[in-house]
Amino acid sequence: MTQERIALVTGANRGIGKEVARQLAHDHGCRVLVGARDLEKGHEAAKQIGRGASAIQLDVSDPASVTTAFAMIDTDYGRLDILVNNAGVDYDTDQQALTADLARVHRAFETNFFGPWATTIAAVPLLQKGQSGRIVNVSSGAGAINEMSAGTPGYGISKAALNALTLKTAAELKPQRILVNAVCPGWVATDMGGGGRPVFEGAKGVVWAATLPDTGPTGGFFRDGTPINW
């Protein structure tokens, strides 16, 4: 009998993360853990999502928070099947690379790059105990070297680094059949994005990568299930 899949979505109290969590719960029958820096906001989001969703305090930029969260997952569930590294900050359209506030860029990297790296390291032992392990790194076309231009230096370069991490971890986890992919949800109407297509549409591509069959791709960069250039 197939077990209910356990999925952790970081930064899931709003925006794309919340919608990814909702789709995983409602459309794929997952037990979803709503990762949120503010636990109260996480509880509210989990209540709105329903279908057994529950909140977990998780600030991906805080190593102690990451350690505590994954210890709780291990205690409560003993495994993890899906990790969606969605938490992201500071779409810095007001900055240029040559005049950037580097302290601000460091803060962006802590959440957009080192955070997913830390959660991936913490998640792998639990994914190894799970079934059909999947890691999805929510990236952006702003991090695509092929299309990169001026502006958004902290956000764009941190997402380029996240793409590189995707390739490294996918290669290392391929023998264990844990699939790792990066997904660009496109320009989506969230608080950070400020416009674009409905959140539902952007989230669908993330959910697609989180629920790939065992024969699915790994080490790829996708938008709406279609490969895009790095």
List active site positions.
155
Strands (E) in 105-152, as ranges, are: 134-138
Cβ proximity of 97 and 44 under 8 Å: no
- DSSP letters for 12-59: -SSHHHHHHHHHHHHHH--EEEEEESSHHHHHHHHHHH-TT-EEEE--
Residues 6+ apart with CB under 8 A from 100: 92, 153, 154
Joined tokens for residue 151: 């502006």
